[in-house]
A and B are shown apart, each in its own frame.
Chain A
């Protein structure tokens, strides 16, 4: 959905989104890295199960909740990427046993 205007200004990183290796830049938030790599959908909604993407980018809307390194309900727009970070997009409400 987004492209980079500038070539790498900082070190290039690799993160894993739903098992796929994706490039990111130092200084990106998780949400920025997702939008730059066309992983637009962060989760499905808890009520109707419809897809949601990062919306406000400043920690207000909570639409970008993802699982980061095994910890659920993290705000992708408020979390800086780190090398090797594992990001899993969400599917509705937490299921029993997960």
Chain B
């Protein structure tokens, strides 16, 4: 931790993953008074989680791509940007006002420009039993590996689809962890659909690495494809995973851990709460903020960079962080020449965006894993089932916000993060309309819980008193 927060900055950047780190480096080096606010204790975001403190040696467990993040972190920390770890941004209030809690104290910071680099989170994977202890996200298990060198101890099943699923399986192979099975939920037909985008992927830097990993995992592990149904079973904790393949083969595997993953989606709570316009992306099956080529949104002086503005991966996030920074630098320091940096950033972005359509198509999660039925829990916090949602739509409930009044769905502590997309997709399907028409939860600050003590402790001035005092 560094010096105390100032009252104002030229630019406030939220999130210290690749996009936020790159943006902070550029802004600070251009002479802007820059603050980098990050909720985690250490820089790196989730992709480079714990990179400055991982107990794992830079050997073969995590792979070279992970360790490449070190340069990015080093540059950002040396750039002169004010890096503040453990900082939870809970709202963007009036224009340019960033509300943040650090070490049990709330602060309001004034920023001329704000760049959100809030990254991605796991897509919900609502299957029967997914709330049982023993079931967790594969991304969560990977965080434990990166930050504490932890690997699952008992019988472990990995299930789902997406590049991260194969990466984690490969990292566990490197670590000598034996998985009972890898259940691949991608549809066989995805390959033929994805091949239409193969030309783009052939030029992707991810191609050779991805294929090498998939082959290694297939050679060493029990990979079962075409999974059409998946269930976690147990009384009070996970005891078994049952599955059925497209050809009808059903099996039950005793398991102590089930790690689920079916892709990542933008983390949009902060941008939504700030009034940024979002749209449904049908290729990535999620909402994303509408931004221009520099990440600028419809809200003045508010940009979004990295996977929070649509999933494209770590290197693309770095480029998008740089581009958002370049636009801010041009606005505040027009004399600084950024033409060369922009060319380099655009080339990097083009290179790593190649093949994304192929990946989106190949790893598109199947409908039955996005739209559960019956007694499967959709809202983990309020324990609302798919059937309750279907019944409420049948009563005439038109959207997720009206549904809150019926069911409290999305109103628990996670503030809709783990049910929002499922609810939108279920309602859209039931009503026969596009997800865009259904929309998403209306979000308001605080987007993370803060205590009354933190709010009460906010520094007051005459303007703040006038804002709440009644004459």
Contact = CB atoms under 8 A, between A and B. Distances in A.
A61 B418 contact: yes
A49 to B, nearest CB: 10
Contacts of B131: 45, 50, 52, 55, 63
Given A27-B50, A58-B140, A6 B413 contact: no
B151 interface: yes
A53 B122 CA distance: 17
Contacts of B414: 60-62
A85 interface: no
**Chain A interface secondary structure, helix, strand, loop or mixed?**
loop
Interface string B152-183: 11100000000000000000000100000000
Contacts of A77: 140
Interface in A58-98: 58-63, 65, 73, 77-78, 80
Contact of B41 (A47, A58, A80): A80
Given A55-B136, A78-B39, A1 B152 contact: yes
Nearest to B57: A6
A36 B148 contact: yes
B140 A54 contact: yes
Contacts of A50: 131, 236
A77 B413 CA distance: 14
Interface string B98-140: 0000000000000000000000011000000001111111011
Nearest to A41: B133
Which one of A1, A27, A65, A80 has the highest number of Cβ atoms from chain B below 10 Å of its Cβ? A1
**Chain B interface secondary structure, helix, strand, loop or mixed?**
loop
B61 interface: yes
A32 B150 CA distance: 8
Contact of B383 (A27, A29, A47, A51): A47
Contacts of A59: 39, 448
A55 B412 contact: no
A4 B150 contact: yes
Interface in B39-79: 39-41, 46, 50, 53, 55-56, 61
Interface string B427-454: 0000000000000000000001100000
Interface size class for chain B?
35 or more
Interface string A31-59: 01001100011000111101111111111
B148 A25 contact: yes
Contacts, number: 128
Contacts of B140: 54-58, 77
B136 A5 contact: no
A4 B418 contact: no
A1 B259 CA distance: 12
A57 B382 CA distance: 20
A1 to B, nearest CB: 6
B417 interface: yes
Given A27-B53, A53-B136, A5 B151 contact: yes
A93 B258 CA distance: 27
A40 B381 contact: no
B144 interface: yes
Nearest to A38: B153
Given A4-B148, A52-B131, A61-B418, A27 B136 contact: no
Which one of B41, B133, B449 has the highest number of Cβ atoms from chain A below 10 Å of its Cβ? B133
B150 A56 contact: no
A22 to B, nearest CB: 14
A56 B133 contact: no
A51 B236 CA distance: 6
Contact of A53 (B133, B144, B418): B133
21 contacts: A1-B154, A2-B151, A5-B55, A5-B61, A6-B56, A36-B148, A40-B133, A40-B237, A41-B133, A50-B236, A51-B133, A52-B131, A57-B139, A58-B46, A60-B121, A60-B414, A61-B414, A61-B417, A62-B413, A73-B413, A78-B40
User: Nearest 6 A-B pairs (CB), nearest first?
Assistant: A57-B140, A53-B133, A62-B413, A9-B55, A2-B150, A57-B143
